[in-house]
Amino acid sequence: MTQTQSATRGWYVLHTQTGHEEKVMRLLQSKIEAEKLQDKIFKILVPMEDVVERKFFPGYILIDMQVDEITYWTVKGIPGVAGFLGEPHPTPLPEEEVLSIQSLTDSTSAENPRPAIQFEKGENIRIIEGPFRHFVGIVEEINEPKAKIKAMVTIFGRPTPVELDFLQVEKV
């Protein structure tokens, strides 16, 4: 951040250590309150979807702020912050992009929550619901958007592909 750069309000992308997004947000909120920067740093958003909340931009948070020398170094000084996207001159996201991200954050949880379980090809699963309950299988394919897996299950001594919902299986 240079001395001559003006204070421009907008939503900026802040790069954090992956897995530290909430911690960074809490530290930022404390720092904003302690340094009375509420008139320059307005909102902090960790984009999440209801999986039981999974970040859909791991390692990034959005921050609605007025960037100036003070706010720039306040935010950069937070443990876990790697920096702003666009350094050394952070550029705000276009408003349409922010609205799109906010709508994903707001609508995902209500309309199509997904389970937090992550499956990998080749791992063993146990079917816990449906006609193949108690069968064990091996994950062959994963369809994240539809929250489904295809598993090879041995039925009557023969390997059979079965498509299952994420909620119908558990890891073994």
CA pair distance 129, 136, nearest whole angstrom: 12
| pTM (predicted TM-score) | 0.48
Two structure tokens written together for 13: 């992308």
pLDDT of residue 6: 63
> Does residue 51 surpass a pLDDT of 80?
no
Residue 119 lies in a domain: no
CA pair distance 152, 86, nearest whole angstrom: 46
Number of domains in the chain: 2
State the average pLDDT over residues 78-105. 86
How is 67-101 classified by DSSP, letter by letter?
E-HHHHHHHHTSTTEEEETTTTS--PPPHHHHHHH
pLDDT of residue 108: 47
CATH of the domain at 130: 2.30.30.30
Contact 91, 101 (CB under 8 A): no
CA pair distance 117, 132, nearest whole angstrom: 20
Same domain assignment for residues 12 and 58: yes
Same domain assignment for residues 98 and 136: no
Maximum CA extent, the chain: 75
Same domain assignment for residues 23 and 106: yes
Please tell me which residue, 9 or 47, carries the higher pLDDT value: 9
Residue 1 lies in a domain: no
Domain end position, chosen among 111, 146, 163: 111
Q: What Å distances lie between residue 49 and 5, 107, 166, CA to CA?
A: 35, 8, 16
Domain end position, chosen among 66, 88, 111: 111
**Domain that includes residue 131, residue range:** 124-171
Cα of first residue to Cα of last residue in the chain, in angstroms, is 51
Cβ neighbors of 20 (< 8 A, separation 6 or more) are 80
pLDDT of residue 107: 54
Same domain assignment for residues 78 and 29: yes
Within 13 Å of residue 91, how many CA atoms lie on the same side as its CB? 4
